[in-house]
Amino acid sequence: MNVTRRAVSIGALGLLASSSLSPATALDGVLIDPIEGTDEFWTAVDAYIYGYPLVTMEMTRRVVTNVPKVEGTKGPMGQIIKLREYPNASFTDVTAPNADTLYTTAFVDVGKEPWVFSFPDMKDRYFLFPMLDGWTTVFQVPGARTTGGGAQTFAITGPGWEGKLPEGVTVYKSPTSMVWILGRIYCTGTPEDYKAVHELQDQCKLVPLSAYGKEWTPPEGKVDPAIDMKTAVREQVNRMDAVEYFTLLSELMKTNPPTAADAPMVERMATIGIVPGKDFDKSKLDAYFVKRIPEFAFHRIMLHFKFSDGDIRNINGWGYTTKTGIYGTEYVQRALITAIGLGANRPQDAVYPTSLKSGDGVLARAYHGSEKYVLTFPKGQLPPVRGFWSVTMYNDKYFFVENPINRYSISPRQDLKTNPDGSTDLYIQHENPGPDKESNWLPAPKDKFILMMRLYWPDDSPPSIIDGSWVIPAVKKAG
């Protein structure tokens, strides 16, 4: 989808008035002037949008891996990070945490040699290990849906690698040197199931090909004191000026090359000094644009949230997209998903409808704990999935909400009660609805809140959220 230059300049204020985006996306001063109407300026804006995923991935990698050993949500390059339990309401390291899967993740550099990743027999437990390249494309997804539950071993190879692999090792070719393994293993959250998943996590192995089949102790991670470990990654990216940003982008493209389909964009970028394999030539960029390009380009990315020609759907107060994981040349959509949901899966693996308001259009009102709401699934119309589904409660900052029963999400594992007509009600409110309804209660805060539904391995045949044949019910005020 192409956002016209006129739509970008006059549509910005409408987005701010009608969207739920954070203050970081405030559209201050985006109206263009005649100088910014030049082809050079627009080429630079498009180049910024094109490179946004790669730059953000690199900045994320730096922060995640800038530690001497694995601890919490961080770990050195080439070492598996294993989250051992779900976070509680005090956790604010990452927005929109989940209480359904335990992450098992790692960053690796496959530029010099392949890395071998293996996991044990998962039996009938739902799991997936999506592998993202530097541009955020999910190039492989071993897991329950694609490869089954048996034990498996994969060699992740980099661009241009040629060689032989040991018998029984499947090759996964990464288009880039940077790879992010972002695994998720389903867990009910009970002490017994935590223990079972921990055992599976501990059997996951990651080693360089040269060490495969040998005793190997990962080296201590290198810590760079210059890396900002406190500021959110998106803020670090967005505050770069164009010279800093394009210098980093050019450096990253030396080992994370564009695809063949990117050839028209690569040709355009060369006119402003960005050439894959070479350092950025800042002499080709007008100094007047240096600060304006990032500001304007990011606003254009966020405009896609509202003006997307169907990339973002809004149904019954739930907003979601099924265009994630694989983007081709849809650069604006790719950048938007990077900005609001870095690490997103392919839609065949997960869809994440999010709701901030009850009702539609001008009558829609933000959810508030002073009200009582109900989400009703008619008989036979629970979310159609082969993995699992849940509804998670967040405060207005996308963090968990403290509550007396320590319930942050609700799903069939709560043994939901059905109504006499076969329908299922979820009670979304601050006060406990009573012992006969507590199993179906999703506790809300006293003030504003946000709901997110997770559908993992959604059915791909009707009824399905992917093709729109299953429609999410609206959340309504109770009574």
Mark whether 50 and 86 lie in a shared domain.
no
> How many CA atoms does the CB half-sphere of 335 hold within 13 Å?
26
Per-residue pLDDT band for 154 (boundaries 50, 70, 90) equals very high
Q: What is the pLDDT of residues 193-226, one digit of tens each?
A: 999 999 999 999 999 999 999 999 999 999 999 9
Task: Determine the residue type at 360.
Answer: D
What is each CA distance from 48 to 52, 302, 404, in whole angstroms?
6, 13, 46
Domain annotation covers residue 93: yes
Mark whether 73 and 202 lie in a shared domain.
yes
Q: Indicate the Cα dihedral angle 60, 62, 68, 71, nearest 10°.
A: -10
Mark whether 244 and 287 lie in a shared domain.
yes
What is each CA distance from 339 to 132, 224, 297, in whole angstroms?
16, 25, 12
Domain annotation covers residue 40: yes
Task: Give, in degrees to the nearest 5, the angle at Cα 238 between 355 and 76.
Answer: 90
Q: Which of 316, 339, 362 is the last residue of a domain?
A: 339
Range of 386's domain? 353-477
Q: In terms of Cα–Cα distance, which of 436, 396, 308 is closest to 20?
A: 396
Mark whether 409 and 444 lie in a shared domain.
yes
- Mean pLDDT value of segment 381-393: 97
- Mean pLDDT value of segment 21-31: 37
Domain count of the chain?
A: 3
Q: Which of 305, 339, 373 is the last residue of a domain?
A: 339
State percent of the chain over pLDDT 90.
84
pLDDT at 308: 82
State the chain's maximal CA–CA distance in angstroms.
72
Mark whether 207 and 241 lie in a shared domain.
no
Domain annotation covers residue 450: yes
Task: Give, in degrees to the nearest 5, the angle at Cα 341 between 406 and 384.
Answer: 65
Domain annotation covers residue 267: yes
Q: Which of 176, 211, 246 is the last residue of a domain?
A: 211
Give the C-alpha separation, 301 to 362, whole Å.
24
Q: What is the pLDDT of residues 448-463, one digit of tens each?
A: 999 999 999 999 999 9
Q: Where are the beta strands (DSSP E) in 284-429?
A: 313-315, 318-320, 350-351, 354-355, 357-358, 365-366, 373-377, 385-395, 409-410, 424-429
Domain annotation covers residue 103: yes
Mark whether 104 and 170 lie in a shared domain.
yes
What is each CA distance from 397 to 92, 96, 448, in whole angstroms?
9, 9, 9
Give the C-alpha separation, 398 to 92, whole Å.
9
pLDDT at 13: 25
Mark whether 71 and 205 lie in a shared domain.
yes
Domain annotation covers residue 345: no
Task: Give, in degrees to the nearest 5, the angle at Cα 303 between 43 and 93.
Answer: 105
The encoded tokens of residue 400 equal 């968990």
Mean pLDDT of the chain: 90
Mark whether 332 and 391 lie in a shared domain.
no
Mark whether 248 and 330 lie in a shared domain.
yes
**How is the beta sheet containing 115-119 ordered, strand by strand?**
170-173, 152-157, 115-119, 205-208
The encoded tokens of residue 237 equal 């990216």
Domain annotation covers residue 147: yes
pLDDT at 27: 36
Residues in the chain: 479
CATH number of the domain bearing residue 470? 2.60.120.1600
What is each CA distance from 141 to 6, 228, 257, 279, 321, in whole angstroms?
39, 31, 21, 33, 19
Mark whether 12 and 53 lie in a shared domain.
yes
Domain annotation covers residue 312: yes
Give the C-alpha separation, 35 to 289, whole Å.
9
Q: What is the pLDDT of residues 318-330, one digit of tens each?
A: 999 999 999 999 9
State percent of the chain over pLDDT 70.
92
Residue 37 pLDDT > 70, yes or no?
no
Mark whether 416 and 463 lie in a shared domain.
yes
For 412, residues 6+ apart whose C-beta sits below 8 A from its C-beta are: 382, 388, 389
Per-residue pLDDT band for 34 (boundaries 50, 70, 90) equals very low
Mark whether 48 and 123 lie in a shared domain.
no
